[in-house]
Amino acid sequence: MSVPEAGQSAGRDEQEMDNYEQHQTRVLMALMQGLCAARYRKADNTPCLVDQGLYLGSVGAALNNEALKSLNITHILVVARSLNPAFPAEFTYKKIEVLDSPDTDLGKHFGECFTFIDEGTCTGGNVLVHCFAGRSRSVTVVLAYLMKKHQMSLQSAMSLVRSKRPQIAPNAGFISQLVNFEKSLQGLTTVGVILHAKLPSVCSGAGTKNVAI
């Protein structure tokens, strides 16, 4: 019977430790997400109207079934990898599985997002676009939609959305993509500075690490 060499045994031990640490990280992330979702459900659970038929919000708004129905929201666009449709039997959903990371190419999904929003509003319903915090991913999609639909400048779109939802904070990568999108639409940009170079935390103000979910 062959005896494993010390190096092989050490390698397996190291791999097992890595797997354990990854598992613990996933458990911790799930716990953090659950706690933050509960917070948003209580403190940030109202969809914000930003355009005719178009609402923006956090996971808290997406979990507020009563508000969704009272606002005649029929379509829900989920812009987050970690979130799943909350009421799949009651609303029409589309999910864009992306992380809130500056490296995420959200721009490649703009077209399908716009089509989904138009499908909802053109059939007499209203549409909610949400991510986890309602600050970055969903905001980026809504800004791009306003720029495309109304030929708005990025600066004007940001001012409008911020007036409805002051806590918006697209990450630096998304701002850069919006700048490029504005250039493709209008040939120039109205925003010359990357406004938010720091990745928003999972649960703002909760003392958590900056992580993308």
Q: Which residues are catalytic?
A: 131
CA distance 209 to 28: 11
Q: Which three-class secondary structure string do you get for 87-104?
A: CCCCCEEEEECCCCCCCC
- Using CA atoms of 158, 136, 124, 160 in order, give the dihedral in degrees to the nearest 10: -10
What is the token pair recorded at 49? Answer: 């109207």
CA distance 174 to 169: 10
| Ranges assigned E (strand) in the chain | 48-51, 54-57, 73-79, 92-96, 126-130
Q: Which three-class secondary structure string do you get for 8-52?
A: HHHHHHHHHHHHHHHHHHHHHHHHHHHHHHHHHHHHCCCCEEEEC
